[in-house]
A and B are shown apart, each in its own frame.
Chain A
Amino acid sequence: EPEVTQTPSHQVTQMGQEVILRCVPISNHLYFYWYRQILGQKVEFLVSFYNNEISEKSEIFDDQFSVERPDGSNFTLKIRSTKLEDSAMYFCASSGLLGGPQHFGDGTRLSIL
């Protein structure tokens, strides 16, 4: 079964540094998403992306965050200047249809020191 893959599985970064989280969505999917889960809290929506632009973003997704699909296979989340509170598990997901089931990757655990 096709899978969403995320790299790295764990990223440790100093506060204030930029970090890029990478995702390879399922190849024929058109809709891409990022979620995060801070330890002990709910999984939270960050952003959705379709046709090379952001479809929707949450309040969390401020100017420090950006997403990009640099080529036909990768989907990245960049955090420009990381803060301690950005420490979380970040999940990438993709779907073939808007509103269809979203398929999730294993997540990247981001630890900000």
Chain B
Amino acid sequence: AQSVSQHNHHVILSEAASLELGCNYSYGGTVNLFWYVQYPGQHLQLLLKYFSGDPLVKGIKGFEAEFIKSKFSFNLRKPSVQWSDTAEYFCAGATTDSWGKLQFGAGTQVVVTP
């Protein structure tokens, strides 16, 4: 079955540390991939997206993600986190069969300590 999985459920790190969140998908064929962030008490916001082309995608707030087709991965990275990056991060994907149907990973709760 098509799915998206996130490796870490909970990550705690200090300010200025680097962040990498894993995401794997199990689709065959063409896939659109997304990372969303949900700050406490707020709605899901799009961080970045990959449709095609350059596999290294840059998003808002200094985040980037790399699409590695051979590994079915789309990991999210940020070189230096801030306290304000404390949030839950969701990887999501959709395929050509169902472009509108986003499948979400379980989410990773990231806590950045001062």
Could you list which residues of chain A lie within 8 angstroms of chain B, going by C-beta atoms?
3-4, 31, 33, 35, 41-45, 48, 50, 55-56, 58, 91, 95, 98-99, 101-107
| Nearest B residue to A5, CB-CB | B43
Q: How far is the CB of A12 from chain B (nearest CB, A)?
A: 19
Q: Give the size range of B's interface with the partner.
A: 20 to 34
Assess the B46–A101 pair: CB atoms within 8 A: yes
A-B contact count (CB 8 A): 55
- On whether the beta carbons of A101 and B34 are closer than 8 Å, the reply is yes
- Find out whether the CB atom of B100 lies under 8 angstroms from the CB atom of A104: no
Contact A33/B46 with A42-B107, A99-B94 known, Cβ cut-off 8 Å: no
**Contact of A104 with B43 in the complex, beta carbons under 8 Å:** yes
- The 8 Å CB contact of B49, one of A50, A55, A101, is A101
Judging by beta carbons under 8 Å apart, are A106 and B42 in contact?
Answer: yes
Smallest beta-carbon distance B83→chain A, Å: 23
Cross-chain contact A56 with B105 (CB below 8 angstroms): no
A106 to B36, CA, bound (A): 13
Q: Does B90 contact A (CB under 8 A)?
A: yes
Report if B26 contacts A (CB, 8 A): no
